A and B are shown apart, each in its own frame.
Chain A
Amino acid sequence: MRTADLEARLAEWSRPGGPFDPAVLTAHDETESFPAEACAALDTWGLPEYYVPVRRGGRQDRLDEFLALLRRIAARDLTVAVAHGKTFLGGVCAWVAGEDGPADLLARHVLAGEPVAWGLTEPDGGSDLLAGSLTATRHGSGWHLSGRKWPVNNATRGNLLCVLARTEPEGGPRGFTVFLIDKRATATGTVRPLPKMPTHGIRGADISGVEFHEARVPAHALVGTVGGGLELVLKSLQLTRIVCVSLSLGAGDHALGLLRRFLSERRLYGRDLADLPHVRGTAGRAAAHQFLAEAVAHTAARAAHQVPEELSVVSAVAKAFVPTLVQGQLRLIGDLLGARGFLTGVEGYGGFAKLERDHQVVPLFDGSTWVNRAGLAGVLPLLRPGRRATASVSASPVHWLREEHRPAPLDARRLRLLAPRDSVLGALPTLVAELAEQERTSSTAAETASLSRALLAAYERLGADLKNVRPTGGAPSTATMRLAERYEWCFAGAAALALHRARPRLHDGPWGQDGLWLRGCLALALEGLGSRPTGATQVYDRLGTLVTTAPDVPVSVLDDMVPDEPVHDGSVEVPAA
């Protein structure tokens, strides 16, 4: 119910003069000032509790719930979601490291409302973590830090900062270590802020940096083990990459809301805009984008609990796929909005240009689309269909995507850098076979079955193409990157099928009847795989009709999913590594 409660509060706060009043947030964007009122409102509501695991006294026990919360905020203002949500990123290393670090200390800080930044990037370093030059050297019982982290979200405003530092002069995968810095506990002049970077979007966020000059930090600042930093960060990224995609879902919600308003108001050539088939088709396509993005994001969030050993693949797919998909969705919506998506002062529509600019940062966060896709490309030969034994029944997404399923506690010890299998795509043949059994029940069931068979065939073709691919070092070839992209589309289609199978509720209702939303997802996935599925036009048309004729039905297949209250029984925790 907390998601619903947050949504109700956000609606309140969005009224004129409130902390989420679009006029206030637009002004922050214009003047590049921090949306402090909105962040304070979220503090009061208790969002920081969701940054802290239950066993450390917080309310974080389900990633799917956290995604839903952050999505609601992003749907109002993506800058605020980024500005506040960074504490999730800042904390995650400490939770993953478990008892090997200052987790309890950090939990107290976060619960007290203290934001935490995560400093990975360095000037000119980009996504190459091994190039990091900020150095920590032993000094007495503690450490001396020297160097720069930039650009970092909240680097200047926050007191707490989790950084990756080089602890072996020659670097290397065992040459880096994570530290949690409390700037207040460092000597004057040893830690200096670096200027805010003027950005294209999220202009109000504190994207700045920090510079250390022989800054002394105590021994208990160490997070995890000395030399364990890279591994810790790579595992933490598996979680944060999944969280990031909720920002895309929120952006999609926001844009779809504007689109619906536009379609209800606009008349052209003497008709309602929605009377034009291509307008309906585009609106329906935009809705299908949202459903597919939801399927992947939600599957990834549940996978973190259920199949954490596969998360290196799942998180890379989610992060490479969802922001790109939503970018495409925003493009479709922007094309329909035309001038209204471009002019920033037109009553009610000024938000579109801002959300689109804001969203363009999401593909860059925590490893860009290409970084994630390249990571996936590197391990593709291991993931080809049939190479591994399929997972057990309990590992099947159909099992753990059930509405009532209570996700297992997050267990960071099960995270691995190399996934042994992919249970989501592994479930595809069974899912397709099950749909085939239904195909005689109706013409739409036959259509759904046929689309799913086409997806399976595309996956098998991918498997055949993967036979000739060897693992290689360095940047993957273009051909391998394209295979990785195809893998993402197959995964997305399989996630939609699994979600549909796991939730009877999704077989009914405006989107669900006749499996309409699923056919939208499958059609989109097949197009992504380069084919032109028959019936796609009709599916998008029907989805588009619903977008315009049922304006009160949220464009979501997860909307009813309001997770229950977290249970403070200690059974749900992030165990020590």
Chain B
Amino acid sequence: MQTILFILQKEFLQIFRNKTMLPIIVLVPFIQLIILVNAATLEMKRINMEVVDNDMSSSSRKLVDRFRASPFFSITRTTFSIKEAEKDLLEGRTGFVLHIMPGFEEKLGKESKASVQLLVDAVNGMTASLTNAYAQSVISDYNSDMVKARGGNAFISIMPKTIDIESSYWYNPQLNFKYYMVPGILVILVSMIGAFLTALNIVREKETGTIEQINVTPIRKYHFIIGKLIPFWIIALFELAFGLFLGRILFGMPVVGSLGLLFLFASVYLLVVLGLGLLLSTMAQSQQQVMFLSFFFLITFILMSGIFTPAESMPAWGQKANLLNPFAYFMRVIRMILLKGSGFKDIAGDLISITIFAAITLGMAIWRYRKAA
């Protein structure tokens, strides 16, 4: 036990003496939160659209006004030539074209039925389907308002049945994408800090040869590993707190659930991450190899964790593979706790899984770590 204290004392001395370490610990959360949250946004607001109104009637103008009033669209150009608009679409100057063909109002009056054309740049399938969804809802709102407006007169006798659909968005009524991203970024932050720092620290001892000096001492393997892990465990937990604080100040991140529960889960999760860092360091001989190996693993883990897109949308094999992805667990749990206020009962299953993970990775790391040259 006393041995661990000596190791802790030495590790902390080194960390606080390292001139590049402290800036990393303080600046990385700032940069990640400010740049990533702003850059990594799939939030669809003010989609650039062009309007080709070849009807120029009051109905078509009203429809266009609907789009103009919608917070989701911003009309950047109005033209009469569909060719022009298609060219803009081709060259990427706009993502969406509303084309109202001649005779729109006339048809609407006579046949009660008319068509408009929506041209969506679908290179990005995600934004394309959202654009389409928003456009459809603008049009259908316009539609039902017109029905209501006419409902007052002669049409009343054949007034059709209607179903009122009242939709409400729980936990994030404004559909603020940042509330979705901040927890995701926090997961990346603590995982990268935890895994990288642990792996680099031990490989650096390998490179300078001090690990050999430790290996000829009678120190117990688990003493050494515990002594190595605790400092980074504390730092990563501190980073989580600091990141949450920044998220709260910069983006007004809501914290609905219990912070205690979040930190309980995080502290177990971090054992997995640190264990992975340790495993990586046993596989690598130089800092460069560690960087490449972690780059490879982290990118795969992060992309599959459901940071940008719901993990439920993945094909079945992807979801199965995700059972082995610790990032996915924390990604889900942190969002549940922060946004929905999920309690202990709700995350108990995940907590058990992640505890098993921790036992396995730490066990493997201790087993793989050889007190040998």
Do the two shown chains form a genuine complex with each other? no
Which B residues are closer than 8 A to A by beta carbons? none
Which A residues are closer than 8 A to B by beta carbons? none
